[in-house]
Each structure stands twice: as C-alpha cells, then as structure tokens.
C-alpha cells in the first residue's frame, strides 16, 4: 500500500494524536508497513515518539506516532510522554486526530481536538475500530467535533486506511507530482484523488446511441472507441487518458444505461455493461450526461442523470447533435432548455452545454466546465461561515415539526467534500422534509456556489453527554 524510504519527507510531518489506546500504534504500523510500535490493549503502551518516512500517491511525508495525549493512564511516565507529544504536534503539517468508534465520544477526545485547533494546520478526524455497520452509524456522533473530513477506519484490518491517506495527502503543502508506476506494486489498490491531484475522472454517460463514443473520439482526436450507428456498440467502460492544459483527464466511455425491462430483453451482456456504467459513475468526479438534441429529453435521460446524482458525481448536461437543430432558431433553443430543466428538476445545479461531437462545436467546453465543477465540488466551508448562513436561513424558515416539540437546528458542519456533505444537528430526532432539504440546498448554493455538484444533507439529533461526577 505504501512505499517507504521517501526522500524529503521531514518537511511534511503527519502526526497521529489522540487519547491513550485509541489505536494510534496500530494505525502507524498499518501505514508504515512495519511493527515499530508495540500494540497492546493497555493504555499508554507507546512511550517513544516514532517516526517513519512514507509515500502515498507520490506524496512524501513523515508519519509520527505520539504517545497518548490527555485522558487517564496508569503509566507513571504519562506526563512526560504527553509533554513530548505536545512538542511533536507543533511541527506537524497535518494532524490526524484518532478517536475510538467503539467507546464513542469522550471528554478527553474533545480536549485533544481543542489543543489540535490551536496548532493551525489541517485536521483529519479518523474514527478507528469501525468494522461493522452498527458502529458506522454510531460514528455520526463525532460530527459534533466539527472537524472535516471524517474518515471511518479499522486500522487492525486495514479498512478505510486508503481513504484516510487520500485525505491526508490532499492536505499536504507543496506536493503536486504523481506517483511513478514503478513506485507502486502490482497489488496496490490505489485510486488517485482528484483533490490535490492532476487527474480528473470524467464518465461519459447517456442512453444508447446519443453519441458517447463520438464525443470521446472528438475529445481525444483519434478513433480510440468503436463508433457505430447501432445502439449498444460499446460493451465495456473504456478508459482513455488525455492531457489538457497541464491536467490529466481520464475519460470513461460507458455503455448506454437502459431501463431494467430493456436490459432483460437484451440479455446478460447488456446487463453487465449497464452495471459497468454504474460502477464507472461511482469512481468518477464528473458525469457528462449526454442528451440527443434531435430526440429531446426522455424519461431514460432523466433516469441516467438520476444515477449520476445518486453516485455523488458532479454533473454537466451536454446536449449533443446541436448542429442538427440550431437552425430552428432562438425560440426553439428557449423551449428546448425550458423543457430540459422541467424534466431534470433534481439536477437544476448542473450546467448545460450545447455541443456537436460530429463537428467539434463547443466540445472543448466539456473540459473547461469540468475543471470548474471539480473545483467547486472540492470546496470546504468553515464551520463559522456555515453557521452564519444557517442562522439566517432558519430565521426565514424553520424545519417542519411533526410532534409537539418544535424542531430546531442547533448548528451544522461540513463533514466531507466530493460531493459536499453537511450534517445539521437538531434538538430532537427528525428527518427533514424534501421541500426543506431543497430550501437548505438553495441557501447553500446561494452562499457558497457548488456549481455542478449535488449537495448531500443529513439531520442528526445532538447527543447529550451524561453528567460526570467531579474527580476527587
């Protein structure tokens, strides 16, 4: 997973911090590929500061394992261990705050976070020991710490560690080069992150025969993908990498996504092709939803756009074969666009391009707008800015209350990007009505943009911490 022996790593220190026995040493061993740190269920096992150079996706950094900071420990040297650990985090470029998903949120975790914020470097919250769906659901309580991103991991089993390293690498300063193929073993399961990387992943999707392969061929300027008038010519999700203005763009030409009934009639191969198209959406940054200008917007087009939206892709709607209809005049254009927006109301955030894969008209706008929406989808809103917006929004419109007790939004935080995901903490358990979700999304877009990106919202009841007795 990780290549060791990285050069120049000391300038970028990634420090693991957390209260004792949350699994810092286990994570350190998992990432560094060595058992330098002794792992034991007794709190305070790690006394020394452990460092190891690491490389991930071409990003070089020094991983540092500190002893447990704050919280209770039976170790007589705990005070000295904590002192060394506090000195170490002052040198960090990124701090990974580790918490225990089984224990839940503890006062000592809040103490660690308070100190980490004072350092003024990017924070990544890793919820460890999350190895089943029940713990995954319970980990939502850590959103109260208002750190983004939040990544759930099980360091002992290696679950989620790659996602955690992606988030860490994206926040390292001044590291922009791509990993060389020779530096990664054949068994490495690596997916390059678009944030902080030079590669953008575009999935070209649409119903059969709207011109997906023709568009890919136009963009790469070669007959790389088989083109035919026969619907369903493309069976596989085919990757083509091109360079554009210094950026690597990976184009994925997918099979047409059909309705379930149509798939059944076409046989097993078509079913697998549709599955591959859906998988391509899951690994894409942007979905280029292609629509045939001569056929208008169909229910199948809406279904394809819906698949992209559910996958969390940013969306650009590209109306192909525009050269065949533009002679109809300005009124036709207005009517077409109005009909498109009416049929794709759920994707009203998506920019619309009128293109022709045959003539090349405005096809370069596909790349240009993709760069814009990728930038927008990676945006992170500070908790302070977000809650100023929430205060204004709730003053205008409160969420609907189903029972006797009034639902109030207490605060909100952005827990991840790509797509932007926000958690709204409420005084009681509730689910926002779809109309209120639309209201909140509109307020978020008005305040912060997010062009082309879906916005995911979650409502969580704030967990009240039980009162604890005073220490004697």
First to last CA, the chain: 47
pLDDT digits (tens, 9 = 90+) for 264-312: 444 433 343 455 567 778 878 999 999 999 999 998 899 889 989 998 9
pLDDT band at 370 (very low <50, low <70, confident <90, very high): very high
Query: Listing from the earlier edge strand, what are the strands of the sheet with 247-253?
Result: 238-244, 247-253, 199-205, 286-292, 314-320, 352-354
What is the DSSP code string of 327-369? Answer: GG-HHHHHHHHHHHHHHTGGGTTS-EEE--TTT-TTTHHHHHH
Q: Identify the CA nearest to 210 among candidates 243, 253, 172, 167.
A: 253
Average pLDDT on 122-142 reads 85
Domain-wise residue ranges, the chain: 3-183, 199-377, 383-461
At 132 the pLDDT is 81
CATH for 199-377 (3.30.1330.60, 3.40.640.10, 3.40.50.300, 3.60.150.10): 3.40.50.300
At 261 the pLDDT is 46
pLDDT beyond 80 at 28: yes
For residues 385 and 350, the answer to whether their CB atoms sit within 8 Å is no
CATH for 383-461 (3.90.1170.40, 3.40.50.980, 3.90.1150.10, 3.30.300.20): 3.30.300.20
| Per-chain mean pLDDT for the chain | 77
Average pLDDT on 417-445 reads 90
| Helical axes 78-89 vs 107-119, angle rounded to 10° | 40
pLDDT digits (tens, 9 = 90+) for 53-66: 888 877 888 998 87
Examine domains 3-183 and 199-377 and report if their fold is the same.
Answer: yes
Q: Identify the CA nearest to 64 among candidates 14, 12, 18.
A: 14
Helix (H, G, I), strand (E, B) or coil at 213: helix
At 277 the pLDDT is 64
Helices then strands, each counted (H, E), the chain:
13, 16
Residue 255 burial (10 A CB sphere; 0-12, 13-18, 19+)? buried
Q: Identify the CA nearest to 369 among candidates 468, 452, 460.
A: 452
Q: What is the largest CA-CA distance in the chain?
A: 84
Task: For residue 273, count other CB atoms closer than 10 A to its CB.
Answer: 23
Question: What Rg, from alpha-carbon coordinates, does the chain have?
Answer: 25
pLDDT digits (tens, 9 = 90+) for 323-363: 999 888 888 888 999 999 999 999 999 999 999 999 999 99
Task: For residue 112, count other CB atoms closer than 10 A to its CB.
Answer: 25
At 224 the pLDDT is 44
Q: Which residues contact 322 (CB under 8 A, 6 or more apart)?
A: 293, 354, 355, 356, 361, 362
d(CA 129, CA 18): 14
For residues 73 and 44, the answer to whether their CB atoms sit within 8 Å is yes
| Tokens (6 digits) for 156 | 């002992």
Q: Identify the CA nearest to 135 among candidates 156, 115, 112.
A: 156
Average pLDDT on 199-211 reads 87
3-183, CATH topology level? Rossmann fold (3.40.50)
Q: Name the pairing type of β-strands 409-416 and 421-426.
A: antiparallel
Place of tokens 């020991």: 129
pTM score: 0.57
Q: Identify the CA nearest to 323 among candidates 183, 198, 410, 214.
A: 214
Residue 145 burial (10 A CB sphere; 0-12, 13-18, 19+)? buried
Helix (H, G, I), strand (E, B) or coil at 142: helix
pLDDT beyond 70 at 171: yes
Percent of the chain at pLDDT exceeding 90:
31
């Amino acid at each position: 997973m990780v290549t060791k022996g990285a050069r120049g790593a000391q300038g970028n220190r990634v420090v693991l911090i957390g209260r004792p026995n949350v699994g810092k040493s286990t994570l350190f061993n998992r990432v560094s590929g060595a058992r330098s740190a002794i792992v034991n269920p007794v709190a305070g096992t790690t006394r020394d500061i452990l460092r190891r150079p690491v490389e991930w996706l071409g990003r070089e950094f020094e991983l540092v394992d500190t002893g447990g900071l704050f919280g209770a420990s039976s170790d007589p040297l705990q005070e000295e261990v904590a002192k060394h650990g506090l000195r170490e985090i002052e040198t960090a470029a990124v701090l990974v705050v580790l918490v225990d998903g089984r224990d839940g949120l503890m006062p000592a975790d809040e103490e660690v976070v308070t100190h980490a914020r004072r350092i003024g470097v990017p924070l990544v919250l890793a919820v460890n020991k999350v190895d089943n769906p029940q713990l995954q659901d319970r980990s939502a309580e850590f959103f109260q710490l208002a750190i983004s991103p939040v990544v759930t991991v099980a360091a002992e089993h290696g679950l989620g560690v790659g996602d955690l390293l992606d988030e860490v690498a994206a926040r390292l300063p001044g590291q922009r080069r791509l990993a060389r193929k020779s530096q990664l073993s054949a068994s490495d399961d690596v997916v390059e992150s678009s944030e902080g990387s030079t590669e953008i992943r575009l999935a070209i999707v649409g119903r059969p025969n709207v011109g997906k392969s023709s568009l890919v061929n136009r963009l790469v300027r070669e007959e790389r993908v088989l083109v035919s008038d026969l619907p369903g010519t493309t069976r596989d999700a085919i990757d083509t990498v091109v360079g554009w203005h210094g950026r690597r763009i990976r184009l994925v030409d997918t099979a047409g996504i059909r309705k379930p009934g149509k798939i059944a009639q076409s046989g097993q191969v078509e079913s697998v092709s549709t599955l591959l198209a859906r998988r391509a959406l899951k690994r894409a940054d942007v979905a280029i939803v292609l629509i045939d200008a001569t056929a208008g917007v169909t229910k199948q087009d809406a279904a394809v756009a819906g698949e992209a939206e559910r996958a969390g892709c940013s969306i650009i709607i590209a109306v192909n074969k525009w050269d065949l209809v533009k002679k109809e005049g300005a009124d036709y254009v207005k009517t077409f666009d109005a009909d498109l927006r009416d049929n794709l109301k759920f994707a009203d955030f998506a920019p619309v391009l009128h293109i022709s894969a045959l003539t090349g008209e405005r096809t370069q706008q596909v790349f240009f707008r993709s760069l814009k929406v990728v930038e927008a989808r990676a945006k992170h809103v500070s908790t302070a800015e977000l809650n100023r917006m929430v205060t204004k929004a709730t003053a205008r419109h409160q969420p609907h209350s189903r029972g006797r007790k009034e639902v109030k939004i207490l605060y909100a935080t952005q827990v991840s990007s790509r797509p932007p995901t926000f958690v709204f903490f409420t005084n009681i358990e509730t689910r926002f009505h779809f109309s209120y979700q639309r209201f909140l999304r509109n307020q978020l877009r008005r305040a912060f943009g997010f062009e082309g990106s879906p916005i995911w919202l979650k409502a969580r009841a704030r967990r009240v911490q039980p009162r604890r007795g005073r220490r004697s």
